[in-house]
Amino acid sequence: MSYDQNPVLIGAGTTAEFGVFPDRTILGLAAEALKDALDDAGLDRHELDGLVTNMGSPLSRHYDRICEALDLDIEFSAQYWAHGRWASSCVQHAAMAVEAGLADYVAVGLGLKFNAVSQFGGNERASLSEIGSISEHSERPWYGMTAPVGGNALATRYYMEKYGATSEDLAHISKTFRDHAALHPRSHFADPITIEEHQESQYIVDPLRLYDCAPLTDGGAYVIVTTAENAESLPNEPAHIAGMEGLSAGRNNHLFARPGMGIRTQEEYEYDASVTDPIYERAGVTRDDIDALFTYDAFTPNVWYALERWGFCDPGTAFEFARDGNIGLDGELPMNTHGGLLSNGHITAWNHFVEMYDQLRGKAGDRQLDGADTMQYATPFGDSIILRTRP
């Protein structure tokens, strides 16, 4: 498959800091990040005609309030729901919009204040208000079960029991991403941690400890999507959206477990990623071409699920792969080179897209991977985007 209009990223911007900012507003964070992205792209705000976001209120702001407050004149808007998981769907939606001629320049991202409304690892209010008696994260408030941390911990215990992985294996993921974040000037948490500190940190929901959970971060990040033709008159080298795969759903899909694992409504079966992921064919690459993998690491074990879901590791082997140094900057498959949600900051993966673009254009500073020309964003939920330096 190829995309006729050749959608690209042409700019990326963030707030100057990721952290906890009780005195700042969501709109202020959004304005700072969007201005940074437009400046980077070489665009005036009046040239922007598309806006896509994965969240509205209360964590972020609805698209119309953003446009009104920032004086944007937008002809194509889309807003997903109040979940972080829709970040790549938003980039896909923007790519489809420029492909279909609905817009020329689409800003994709948000400003958000996690700390204003949410609760670390889960949310009693959301658990009670968003759901009926059953929900996809495994919320069961009447049993004291919140989510996402609860649902993720359920899958993690299952994985550990089935394959022999341990909490110490997760510690290596925390430590690696913290080391990456230490090389990023805007990281929410940049102080290195040791395996021992991870192991001594408190359990939040056993088997997940404090350092297995991403923080609640305030900040903002946007990327700008346009066509390769439009990009020719702009200063930056584009990153080409070479392939896309949408979010999976169904009885064998779970937000926090590879298909075939056997929790919630999943059947237990031999999962073979090689026959399930069309994105590589669509992008015209193989897994061996992927220079770095970015995943939605709201919790450390998401790294295991992503590695196995996307076929970089066979089922039941990702914990060894991640433990043995392979996901570090010098490893076989560097992951979340900015420190991910776990340490760079929980900007619901918009910071992942900014980092991928920075890596592809050689602007990743001390984190820069040599010769990196192909990046993949891919979540345990099944959605993915492959970015390349060339079509």
Partner 1 sequence: MTNRPLPQIDDDAPFWNAASDHEFRMQQCGECGHVRWPPSPVCTECWAEEHEWTELSGRGEVNTWVVFHRVYFDAFADDVPYNVAEVELEEGPRYLAPVECDNDDLYRGMPVSVVFEDVTDEVSLPKFEPK
CA distances from 32 to 14, 187, 188, 262, 383 (A): 7, 17, 17, 44, 28
Strand-pair partners of 386: 243, 376
Structure tokens at 105: 């320049």
- Closer CB to partner 1, residue 115 or residue 376? 115
- Closer CB to partner 1, residue 5 or residue 135? 135
- Assess contact for 208 and 299: CB atoms under 8 A: yes
- Closer CB to partner 1, residue 251 or residue 390? 251
- Closer CB to partner 1, residue 150 or residue 339? 150
Q: In the bound complex, what is the minimum distance in angstroms from residue 284's beta carbon to partner 1?
A: 37
**How many CB atoms neighbour CB 163 within 10 A?**
17
- Closer CB to partner 1, residue 50 or residue 150? 150
| Half-sphere exposure for 18 (CA within 13 Å, toward CB) | 33
Q: In the bound complex, what is the minimum distance in angstroms from residue 66's beta carbon to partner 1?
A: 31
Q: Which residues contact partner 1 by CB under 8 A?
A: 119-124, 127-128, 131-134, 138, 140-146, 150, 153-155, 157-158, 161, 202-207, 251, 262-265
Identify the DSSP state of 267: P
Length of the chain: 391
Q: In the bound complex, what is the minimum distance in angstroms from residue 95's beta carbon to partner 1?
A: 33
- Closer CB to partner 1, residue 22 or residue 132? 132
- Closer CB to partner 1, residue 80 or residue 158? 158
Segment (H or E) for 91: helix 87-99
Segment (H or E) for 67: helix 63-69
Q: In the bound complex, what is the minimum distance in angstroms from residue 147's beta carbon to partner 1?
A: 10
- Closer CB to partner 1, residue 200 or residue 229? 200
Q: In the bound complex, what is the minimum distance in angstroms from residue 271's beta carbon to partner 1?
A: 17
Q: In the bound complex, what is the minimum distance in angstroms from residue 188's beta carbon to partner 1?
A: 20
For tokens 């649902």, what's the residue?
151
Q: In the bound complex, what is the minimum distance in angstroms from residue 142's beta carbon to partner 1?
A: 5
374-378 and 292-294 beta bridge pairing = parallel
Q: In the bound complex, what is the minimum distance in angstroms from residue 160's beta carbon to partner 1?
A: 9
Determine whether 90 is exposed, middle or buried from the number of CB atoms within 10 Å of its CB (0-12, 13-18, 19+): buried
Amino acid at 233: S
374-378 and 106-113 beta bridge pairing = unpaired
- Assess contact for 314 and 308: CB atoms under 8 A: yes
- Closer CB to partner 1, residue 261 or residue 386? 261
Q: In the bound complex, what is the minimum distance in angstroms from residue 276's beta carbon to partner 1?
A: 20
CA distances from 166 to 68, 171, 177, 213, 305 (A): 50, 9, 18, 16, 15
- Assess contact for 351 and 277: CB atoms under 8 A: no
Q: In the bound complex, what is the minimum distance in angstroms from residue 43's beta carbon to partner 1?
A: 43
- Closer CB to partner 1, residue 122 or residue 328? 122
The torsion angles phi and psi of 214, rounded to 5 degrees, stand at: -70, 145
Structure tokens at 162: 């089935």
